Amino acid sequence: MIKMLKMVDVYSGSPRSYATLSGVDVIMVKATQGTNYINPFCDQDYQAAKKAGKLLGVYHYIGGGNPEKEAQYFYKNIKGYLGEAVPAVDWESYQNSSWGDSNYVRKFVDAFYKLSGVWPLIYVQASSLNQVANCSKDCGLWIASYPSMNWKSWSIPNMKLNTSRGQLILFGSLLVIIWTEMWPIQLKKAGRN
């Protein structure tokens, strides 16, 4: 049987206790949004999760202004976490003036990679995969899906896994179920050996 990891998305509106929830393996902390927002609880949540021995991730929520400037802003604010956290980019319609632009995320991930040498995961809803499909050779995916907000009742979803290309498709938002073997691969991509 394959062991699964459980991941929680922690943002400024989350209870601070989410960063150290028992039964959760990975904490994905919102770090930035656009080019002028930094989550005021990012480092607090990150450090609490780290102290609790959780696997770590940090993400940027796209605002839709300029993809290169957003990538620079994200990198500037999370570069100290690279090597121990997997970076991700959140592509949603809410508060995103470039929603629908199928080149925006590609430009963002290219700029982020140029700065960091790391390809981030991409969070997107399943119905909008076409907007990020041009990133599939480089970036893993974290697919938005809300089977229930009662995450303790979730069953293990069907998942696509292609380890030969390092691809990863993740399901969920509040809680994500991922393959144990994939987090070390993503960390290696993030600069941790």
- Number of domains the chain is built from: 1
Residue 64: give its domain's CATH number.
Answer: 3.20.20.80
Give the C-alpha separation, 164 to 157, whole Å.
21
Residue 25 has what pLDDT? Answer: 83
CB 152 within 8 A of CB 159: no
Residue ranges making up the domain that contains 169: 4-189
Within 10 Å of residue 146's Cβ, how many Cβ atoms? 11
Is the whole-model pTM more than 0.95? no
Give the C-alpha separation, 14 to 105, whole Å.
26
The pLDDT tens digits of the residues spanning 139-165 come to: 888 776 655 545 444 444 444 443 333
Q: Which residues, given as ranges, of the chain have pLDDT below 50?
A: 1-2, 149, 151-181, 193
